[in-house]
Structure 1
Amino acid sequence: MLPLTCSDPPSDFDSTVAAFQNTLRKYISGADLESRLTVQPGTWPSIANVTADLTGTTLQPDRPAAVDLANLQAGFTIDQLAFQAEPLTVNSANVRIRATAEQLQLSFARDAQQRVVMVPTDVAHGEVAVEIAQHDLQTLLLFAARQAAQEHDATIDDATLQLEQQGDRAARFATTVQARKGMFQATLKISGKIELSENLTLRLDDLTCEGEGMLGGMLAAIVSPQLTQYNATAIPLAEHALGEVRIEHLQFDVTQGLSVQARFAGRQS
């Protein structure tokens, strides 16, 4: 579900394209943004084709707010949608995303901040693929730890990540990092669990941090409270692209980094 920058839902083709472009400028930074989005008109309320290529751009994350799905307002249909970002940078990590959809129906709602939100409510057929290399997944998983360390003039470097799949939609991870504070260095071990929900959201849990030696113990005490705040944290991989549509097939693999593939059709019952 995607928050738009407009105060009221767009009501025709031109205002919809303007809403797309303004929202792109708010959440995405990169060169030539105007040329990255192509929208071909159909017979309103239908749009014939939307193509977006955000390769090489950076997402400016926005904290999601609850959406009122009980009061949906009629929107429009996209006959053909194609999206790619290979890669899109998120929190200094590269994420590769590809998505296609046919006969994608979008409605409008309001979130808890009273922003206009586009909600996918039905689709004839669609596919989403998300890939994160192991190095970039490590960057995402250590984002909170690095923030906590920086607040205390410490840095975290040279991490090694191990992943172990647990069932169809979960994995354990363990990473060993070298942390520095001034001239001193220590080893930290950070571990936790990743779970994938049906709306393509990663959930982090069971996050722990242990340190070796006196300095390691001190740095672990600094990092641990920050990690605890990230327990149960959700990382949307393609949540904004799914809304109320129904997933037919979901594949989750951590053999080489993280790979998620999904097919969807129709709407949730």
Structure 2
Amino acid sequence: MFPLPGKTFPASAEALRAALEQSIASVVRPAGPMVTVEDAGYPKLKAVHISLDGANAGERPPRRPQPPVGAVQPGLQLENFTVSGHPLLVQRARVDFTCTAREVRLGQARDKDGNPLFVLLEAAEGKVEVVVALSDLEALVLAGAKAEAVKQGVSVESVRIELQTRSERNLEAVVQVRAKKLFLSAALRISGSLAIDEQLNARLAGLKCAGEGALGTLACGFIAPQLARFDGREFSLLALPLGEVKLRDVRIAAGRELRVTAQFGRPA
């Protein structure tokens, strides 16, 4: 879904470009112009390209758009549609995101407050890919761990992450943390699983903490409530929601990077 500013739908290709630029800028800090529209006799378009390259999504995931209510009316017809983020900065991690599609139909709808939305209704074929380097995941976790640990007078020195794929949509994760308080050092082991659904929503589960020695036990004591907050939590890996389109062939692979891919569109 693509929420639009104002209360009316764009009446031209240029108005569409400006509306999408303003809408996307409300959820990311852009590095430059983001939207390019190639007209083919509006509402038919040759292409819409959205570049999130170098954009910053901030420290918190953006709010999901409100769902449409009521009937969805015919809207735009696109020969080609692309969204890229090379990289898109998400909570300090560099995420490579790509979405490509052809023969796309976008419907016009409104949310419960009457705000206009474009909803992705159909595509002949499309592909989504999300890639995050393991080093970026480690840096992200280290920054978060340091911020929480310093409140307890603990210094987190290092974080190492191990990922192992269990199936096409599930993986196991182990995070090794080394921490220090005064003259005491400790090693922590945080483990859990990650599952991806057909809309590229990720869910964390089974988060546990085990520590060595007195400091390790103490550290797990204040980490456990934080883990409980995230256990079972779901978050989207998509930079932009896909609306009515359903994904298929969702796959997750882990090694030196975490890679999630999926297909969508009419079956071959």
The TM-score range, normalised by the shorter chain, is: 0.7 to 0.9
- Tell me if the contact between 2:3 and 2:65 (Cα under 8 Å) persists in the aligned partners: no
C-alpha deviations, 1:113-168, integer Å up to 9, x for none? Answer: 77544321111111111111112233456676455335445443411111121122
C-alpha deviations, 1:23-51, integer Å up to 9, x for none? Answer: 232222243x22x4211222222222112
- Tell me if the contact between 2:170 and 2:193 (Cα under 8 Å) persists in the aligned partners: yes
- Tell me if the contact between 1:49 and 1:78 (Cα under 8 Å) persists in the aligned partners: yes
Q: Measure the CA separation in 2 of the matches of 1:69 and 1:227.
A: 36
Aligned partner of residue 240 in structure 2, secondary structure: helix
Normalised to the residue count of structure 1, the TM-score between the two structures is 0.85
Report which stretch shifted further, 236-245 or 99-108: 236-245
- Where do residues 221-260 of structure 1 align in structure 2 (5 Å cutoff)? 221-238=221-238, 240-260=240-260
Provide the aligned C-alpha RMSD in A. 2.7
Aligned position for 1:10: 9
User: Unpaired runs of 5+ in structure 1?
Assistant: none
Amino acid at match of 1:168: E
The alignment-based identity, stated in percent, is 27
User: CA shift at 1:78, angstroms?
Assistant: 2.3
Aligned position for 1:198: 198
- Where do residues 52-63 of structure 1 align in structure 2 (5 Å cutoff)? 52-60=50-58, 61-63=61-63
Aligned position for 1:171: 171
- Where do residues 88-167 of structure 1 align in structure 2 (5 Å cutoff)? 88-110=88-110, 116-140=116-140, 145-167=145-167
User: CA shift at 1:197, angstroms?
Assistant: 0.5
Q: Measure the CA separation in 1 of the matches of 2:202 and 2:89.
A: 17
User: CA shift at 1:202, angstroms?
Assistant: 1.5
Aligned partner of residue 62 in structure 1, secondary structure: coil
Normalised to the residue count of structure 2, the TM-score between the two structures is 0.85
Aligned position for 2:209: 209
Report which stretch shifted further, 102-111 or 51-60: 102-111
User: CA shift at 1:170, angstroms?
Assistant: 0.1
User: CA shift at 1:66, angstroms?
Assistant: 5.2
C-alpha deviations, 1:93-112, integer Å up to 9, x for none? Answer: 11111221112222344557
Q: Measure the CA separation in 2 of the matches of 1:252 and 1:149.
A: 31
1:40 aligned to which of 27, 38, 41: 38
CA separation of 1:144 and 1:104: change in aligned 2, threshold 3 A = farther
Q: Measure the CA separation in 2 of the matches of 1:222 and 1:65.
A: 34
Amino acid at match of 2:21: Q
User: Unpaired runs of 5+ in structure 2?
Assistant: none
Aligned residues: 264
C-alpha deviations, 1:49-100, integer Å up to 9, x for none? Answer: 1123322221133132652465434432222112221211111111111221
